[in-house]
Amino acid sequence: MTPKLLEVQGLKTEFRRDGGSVTAVSGVDFHINKGEVLGLVGESGCGKSVTSLSIMRLLKDTPGRIAGGAVRFEGTDLTRLSENEMRRYRGNELAMIFQEPMTSLNPVLRIGRQLEEPIMLHLGYGRKRAREHAIHMLKLVGIPRAEDVVNDYPHQLSGGMRQRVMIAMAMACGPKLLIADEPTTALDVTIQAQILDLMKRLKEEQDMGMLLITHDLGVVAEMCDRVVVMYAGRVVEEANVQDLFENPQHPYTKGLIHSVPKLRQNVRRLASIPGNVPDLSAMPKGCKFAPRCPHAMERCLAEEPELLPVEGAEDRKSRCWLTEPGNPEGGERS
């Protein structure tokens, strides 16, 4: 059996607000094997980024807190570590590429300084050796004139170059797990393809696991081995990437795939999922997708289904009454 690099079990994350709190992530379960790329997909506001910040324990300066569950990295529950213990994992064993590099890089520090600090902290290098390693990493991610770029400030670089710097920073200490949160959102199509090719090559060379957070199903199809679909803070489907695209089981997943524009699509308007993502402070009773679901039954409006294996489908899970084991319609919809 392939060893589990990361195992998230029952993760619950809450955010304080006037008069109480709201649950942004509710009972999330998934795992990542060594050398595997897991895609985490869903609409904006579904809890993808909050899940990644919870894994990295980066909620300290926000109103958010982990209210339950476990995040086990190679068997160690990260939620139980002190902040000092967590710092030894963060940037070393676990690394993260954030969505917008301009706000993630310090605007008043030169690129070299920002790369060197984690290298010195985690690898114990002196400043001269750390500078050499920083230049090596910039060259590795395809940045020309790396010896000059280390003396530049972030605003002097293009968006694609800044994202390459973020990747170099994340990879500098040889992490076992890389979390990439929408790493190509702000980039044009050409640069996006280059960044994805770079991430794929580095992942294969270093045999690391990756959690790729995105709303772009094209990126998922190109990069991922397995996919977890989230809706309203919950996992609603899990499958390998081929099964997910060929035969989505959950109505929400089906809606996401059908809403992707296709070449030579001869329609007057693009397909979309009706309605809106529910307000975290006013979640509907029963299945959270039921108000938008074309297959909703009375039971869906009253009871929330659990995330259960799909009958007749290996390594697949779905949070839907239609795919409940024993349901004659389960696993057959396309």
Model pLDDT, residue 45? 87
CB within 8 A of 285, min separation 6: which ones?
A: 301, 302, 304
* CA–CA separation, 42 and 15 (whole Å): 20
Neighbours of 97 (CB within 10 A): 24
Model pLDDT, residue 333? 41
Task: Show the low-confidence residues of the chain (pLDDT under 50).
Answer: 330-334
CB 15 within 8 A of CB 63: yes
* CA–CA separation, 211 and 123 (whole Å): 24
The closest alpha carbon to 33, from 73, 8, 2, 70, belongs to 2
- For residue 240, count CB atoms less than 10 angstroms from its CB and return exposed for 0-12, middle for 13-18, buried for 19 or more: middle
Q: CA 44, 46, 51: angle at the middle one, nearest 5?
A: 110
Cα four-point dihedral sign 55, 56, 59, 60: positive
Q: CA 188, 194, 196: angle at the middle one, nearest 5?
A: 95
For residue 226, report the phi and psi dihedrals to the nearest 5 degrees: -130, 165
CB 175 within 8 A of CB 93: yes
- Identify the CATH number of the domain defined by range 4-224: 3.40.50.300
Neighbours of 131 (CB within 10 A): 19
Model pLDDT, residue 145? 93
| Residues recorded for the chain | 334
Model pLDDT, residue 265? 58
* CA–CA separation, 199 and 298 (whole Å): 45
Categorise residue 3: left if φ over 0, alpha if ψ from -120 to 50, beta otherwise: beta
pLDDT tens for 260-271 read: 777 665 656 677
Q: Please state the pTM of the whole predicted model.
A: 0.90
Domain boundaries defined on the chain: 4-224, 231-323
**Alpha carbon 91 to chain centroid distance?**
17
